[in-house]
Amino acid sequence: MKNILISLKDSLKIMMRNKVGFIGFLGTIFFLLLAFVGPYLMPLNMKADLNSIYTGPTIGHPLGTDYQGRDILMQILHGGREVIYVALMAALLTILIAATFGALAAVAGGLIDTVLNGLAEIIITIPHFPLLLVLASLIKFKSPTGLAVILAAIGWGGLMRSIRAQVLSLKERDYVEAARVLGLPISHIIFREILPNMLSYISVQFILSMTSAIYAQVGLIFLGVVPMEQHNWGVMITLAWNQGALFNSRAQWYLLVPITIIVLLQLSLITMTRSMEELFNPRLRRGG
Amino acid sequence: MLKKILSNYFFIRLVKALVTIFVVATFTFFLIRLMPGNPLDIFIATQLAQGVPLQEAQERAASLFHIDLSRPMMLQYLDYLKNLARGDFGVSIISTNTPVSKIILRFLPWTLFVVTVSLFISFIGGILLGVVMALYRNSWIDQILSFLASIISSIPNYVIAMLIVVYFGVKLKWFNIAEIRGSLSPGVKPEFSLYFLKDAFYHAMLPIIVYVLTTIGSWMLVMKSSTISTLGEDYVEVAKARGIKESRIMTSYVARNAILPLFVSLAISIGFVVGGSPLIESIFVYQGIGLKLSDAITTRDYPVMQAIFLIITASVVVANFLADLLLGVLDPRIRTSRN
């Protein structure tokens, strides 16, 4: 337990070395808290209040109200869980599929390698967003988990190919050869010798998968092909856009708040990758 | 011998491209035909509910989807492939009796126009800025440009589009949003005239700005790193030692070589031109193929949807194929090694 705490402290220190990356890290923590703790801070009340439509920021409604007089802060607090859950799940599944297929293709070689590689190539080639649209029209994305599965099912191609390439090159390294000569079990070779060397890359890819899942998810909601809960950030953007943010300058608050949240979330995630690289790559750490 | 290997490389690429198109075409056929609650069954069910007899409902469905329901599935599939090969995508469900190919020809040019212009501006601009960043690397110019490039690449493009509309349109009133939407002003017809061109560019302006803003960052960063790695090459050192002028080294030695890998990415990007972006087009109500795709999906116009999706995919496949060929021509090491 003490060891874990010490390594946690060390990790934080390393992450703090890259200022921008650390700000991104703090931002990400903030949005995770906002999404998962937020719902407990304020009860959800989606009843229309026609006396306070588009109030703008006031003491009672710090972030203003929407086209039916409902508090925007409350919707923000409740609207992140779904968005971030889908992003986390999609990223997790993408990494799992890509790592399994990539490692399998590299280790097994032969026909398995050819088939998996060909499959990856086809998946990479098909434009993702149109494919998502077509799938959304045929398969009902009923649950957030279902959406995450679909996002992962079409998003693993590129990552699988780079993991395969990395495993192929790591396989030939001296220390892996040494471990093999020593007769260490294959699980030791994969989990202790090869995988730790890919941790930096995989963690960065996890974050990038999250950002593209957020992009796709909000985009699908905006085009109206994914039915989601009414207070989801993506749904808020869509409603704000369709409810006259275009022509009614009082409605702009309603649009700008969820947009700002999405932009800051994406920026936090992207900048956080810089710190993650340093954390998992000792070579970068000493250099910087 | 060499010729044989060369044809082999091109041959493998060609087979891969054809297989991908074939897989996608097959996939959409069976998805539409076999999924539980598939559009064909739903169509027949709605017709039945409207009091159309089963036989007639099936006939209508057959003519719409270009599938003869009385024939075995495999033969239907072959018919479908035969029609595709002839460029026959069937008829639209929503706009009755309009061939899908006609709809595509109406919407596609607008997307091609906007995205090609944007790609051109973004590529040239990205290359120039990337070279500047590499030349003055670690100076304030490089730091500011790198920062901007990475920030703007991480903001979703539809968010930038919305912000432009809300800030410059609604707040600053630089343009009239109701007027600038669409791809042409009402009453203006496509013709060779200054008036038409001016109107087309007026409506295309905002989508172009958004595409350029959201794609220029990655061109800049890629060109910067490509230029930096070229600057370290031996032939650049040699050129310096020979006393060749700095400006000439930059243009004829560094930039020309640094740009090579980017041409391959450019070839791939051209494939995505056809798809455009359903999101950007729907924000600006720009009458392109992406908007038509999302329209077809919301109105359940499956023949249109299927055809657009196939065309988008096929153009990416073809562009990738051309990029592979280009890579083979540019880099002899690739075409001589297998795979």
For residue range A34-84, what is the model confidence (pLDDT) as tens digits? 888 878 877 777 777 777 677 777 776 777 777 776 777 877 888 888 889
- Look up residue A189 and give its two tokens: 């070779």
In this prediction, the residues of chain A whose per-residue pLDDT falls under 70 are: 1-6, 52, 60, 69, 141, 228-230, 244-249, 281-288
> What is B107-338's CATH number?
1.10.3720.10
Q: Does A129 touch chain B (CB under 8 A)?
A: yes
CB contact under 8 A, A138 and B32: yes
Neighbour-count burial of B208, counting CB atoms closer than 10 A to its CB (0-12 exposed, 13-18 middle, 19+ buried): buried
When the pLDDT of each residue in chain B is averaged and rounded to a whole number, the result is 79
Q: Does A165 touch chain B (CB under 8 A)?
A: no
Considering only residues 136 to 165 of chain B, which have any Cβ-Cβ distance to chain A shorter than 8 Å? 150-151, 154-156, 158-159, 162-163, 165
Contacts of A137 in chain B (CB under 8 A): 297, 300, 302, 305
Neighbours of A60 (CB within 10 A): 9
pLDDT digits 0-9 by tens, B307-332? 888 888 888 888 888 887 777 777 66
CB contact under 8 A, A245 and B20: no
ipTM for this prediction = 0.81
pLDDT band, residue B333 (cuts 50/70/90): low
Q: Does B277 touch chain A (CB under 8 A)?
A: yes
CA–CA–CA angle B167, B161, B206 (5° rounding): 90
Size of chain B in residues = 339
* Among the listed residues A127, A33, A234, A262, the one whose alpha carbon sits nearest the alpha carbon of residue B314: A127
In this prediction, residue B338 carries a pLDDT of: 47
Q: Does A252 touch chain B (CB under 8 A)?
A: yes
Q: Does B308 touch chain A (CB under 8 A)?
A: yes
pLDDT band, residue B122 (cuts 50/70/90): very high
Helix residue ranges per DSSP H, B67-193: 73-85, 100-135, 140-154, 157-164, 177-180
Q: For residues A244 and B178, give the distance between their C-alpha atoms in angstroms, rounded to a whole number.
A: 12
pLDDT digits 0-9 by tens, B271-311? 777 766 888 888 888 888 888 888 888 777 777 888 888 88
Domain ranges of chain B: 24-85, 107-338
Neighbours of B139 (CB within 10 A): 12
In this prediction, residue A284 carries a pLDDT of: 57
In this prediction, residue A102 carries a pLDDT of: 87
In this prediction, residue B125 carries a pLDDT of: 93
Q: For residues B281 and B252, give the distance between their C-alpha atoms in angstroms, rounded to a whole number.
A: 40
In this prediction, residue A93 carries a pLDDT of: 94
pLDDT band, residue B339 (cuts 50/70/90): very low
pLDDT digits 0-9 by tens, B205-222? 888 998 898 889 888 988
